[in-house]
Every structure is written in C-alpha cells, then in structure tokens.
Amino acid sequence: MAGVTSRVILSATLVALAVTATAAEATTRREAAEIRLSRYAPEVDVTKLTDTELAVLMNILRSTDTDIEKRFRLRSFVDRYQSGD
C-alpha cells in the first residue's frame, strides 16, 4: 500500500512541475515576443494577443522579409485583429 501511495504522490508532483514549467515557458515566450515586436511595432500589446495571433506575428518576424516589409505586415495584421476582422 505504501508503494501505491508513493507513486500517487510522485505522479502528482510530476504533474504539478509540468504545469508550472509550461506556465513559465509561456510567460517567457510572451516576454521574448514583446521584446522582438517592440522593435517593429511598439504599439502592439502582447498581453491582448491569443496564442495564434502571437504565433502569426512571430512568423512574420522570422521571415526573410526586409525590416520595412516586416513592419508593414505586422501593422497590417495588428490593425486587422484590433478591428475584429
């Protein structure tokens, strides 16, 4: 019986650690995105973006477009999502 209890406690601990690590990673990812986006579109409030919207913006940043093209694409996307289209 003690073995079962130990496994349950260990499992619960591992789940708690995984959830904490995932939340920390998400925060770090958002902070990194905010820093990168501030260079091209400082008006973007990363906290209001969904994960999908954030992924789209990060893909734009990772593209091989010129800085001018990136700024244009970022602002176009932000204007669209802020207007609800």
30 and 58 Cβ atoms separated by less than 8 Å: no
Query: Residues 18-50: pLDDT tens digits?
Result: 655 555 555 677 888 888 888 888 888 888 888
The CA distance from 69 to 77, in Å, is 12
- Rounded to two decimals, what is the model's pTM? 0.60
Distance of CA 34 to the CA centre of its chain: 9
Query: Residues 52-75: pLDDT tens digits?
Result: 888 899 899 999 999 999 999 988
73 and 65 Cβ atoms separated by less than 8 Å: yes
Q: Domain count of the chain?
A: 1
- Tell me, what's the pLDDT at 25? 58
30 and 48 Cβ atoms separated by less than 8 Å: no
| Full residue range of the structural domain in which residue 72 is found | 2-83
- Tell me, what's the pLDDT at 36? 86
